[in-house]
């Protein structure tokens, strides 16, 4: 089993008024030549949680950080005008918290981080991951 140092949070960078399902994301990643969707978990607007790449496999979601991380993505991240925004629905927030509780149990040492903390050029995930670090005191 690989060691997990980080749980990295992402948005799909798609407009909140347009659908970008798990299947659509996976299809796009396969088109880019990935062997599978790059994320380990994907949360759609209605709160549905999809398992993507198996956790024991290295993902493709954060340059230089994939080897020791789990990638979690929510559908959205752009407002109706196409600007970066925290578009998480209440259902997504509930599902994300449930998922992070499970991940924190499996990987108690892993620090929850936003993609933008590793790459300041990115807005992703469009909210401050400190919100979750505070909950888990990590
Ligand atoms: Zn990202």
Q: Tell me the pLDDT tens digit for each residue of 67-101.
A: 999 999 999 999 999 999 999 999 999 999 999 99
Separation of alpha carbons 31 and 78, rounded Å? 22
54: domain CATH number? 3.40.80.10
State the distance from the centre of ligand 1 to the C-alpha of 87, rounded, in angstroms: 14
Is there a contact between 56 and 106 (Cβ–Cβ < 8 Å)? no
Task: Provide the domain limits for residue 106.
Answer: 6-136
According to the model, what pLDDT value does residue 112 have?
97
pTM above 0.85, yes or no: yes
Mean pLDDT in the chain? 97
Residue 1 lies in a domain: no
Of all residues in the chain, what percent carry a pLDDT higher than 70?
A: 100
According to the model, what pLDDT value does residue 28 have?
98
Separation of alpha carbons 114 and 127, rounded Å? 8
Token pair 């005191």 in the structure block, residue: 137
Alpha-carbon dihedral angle through residues 81, 26, 123, 93, given to the nearest 10 degrees: 80
pLDDT for residue 138 is more than 90: no
Number of domains in the chain: 1
Separation of alpha carbons 133 and 32, rounded Å? 32
Q: Which of 130, 111, 6 is closest to 65 using CA atoms?
A: 6
State the distance from the centre of ligand 1 to the C-alpha of 105, rounded, in angstroms: 23
Average pLDDT over residues 98-123: 96
According to the model, what pLDDT value does residue 1 have?
77
Residue 95 lies in a domain: yes
State the distance from the centre of ligand 1 to the C-alpha of 114, rounded, in angstroms: 8
Residue 73 lies in a domain: yes
According to the model, what pLDDT value does residue 137 have?
80
Tokens representing 100 are 């992070």
- Per-residue pLDDT tens over the stretch 32-60: 999 999 999 999 999 999 999 999 999 99
Tokens representing 47 are 């709160």
pLDDT for residue 121 is more than 80: yes
Residue 43 lies in a domain: yes
Max Cα distance, the chain (Å): 43
State the distance from the centre of ligand 1 to the C-alpha of 13, rounded, in angstroms: 8
Residue 118 lies in a domain: yes
């Amino acid at each position: 089993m690989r060691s997990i140092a980080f749980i990295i949070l992402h948005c799909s960078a798609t407009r909140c008024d347009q659908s970008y399902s798990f299947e659509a994301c996976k299809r796009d990643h396969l088109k880019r030549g990935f062997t599978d969707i790059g994320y380990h978990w994907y949360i759609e607007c209605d709160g549905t949680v999809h398992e993507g790449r198996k956790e024991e496999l290295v993902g493709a979601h954060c340059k230089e950080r994939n080897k020791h991380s789990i990638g979690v993505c929510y559908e959205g991240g752009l407002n109706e005008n196409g600007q970066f925004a925290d578009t998480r629905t209440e259902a997504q927030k509930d599902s994300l918290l449930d998922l992070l509780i499970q991940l924190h149990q499996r990987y108690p040492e892993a620090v929850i981080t936003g993609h933008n903390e590793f790459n300041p050029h990115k807005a992703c995930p469009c909210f401050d991951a400190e919100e979750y670090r505070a909950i888990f005191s990590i």
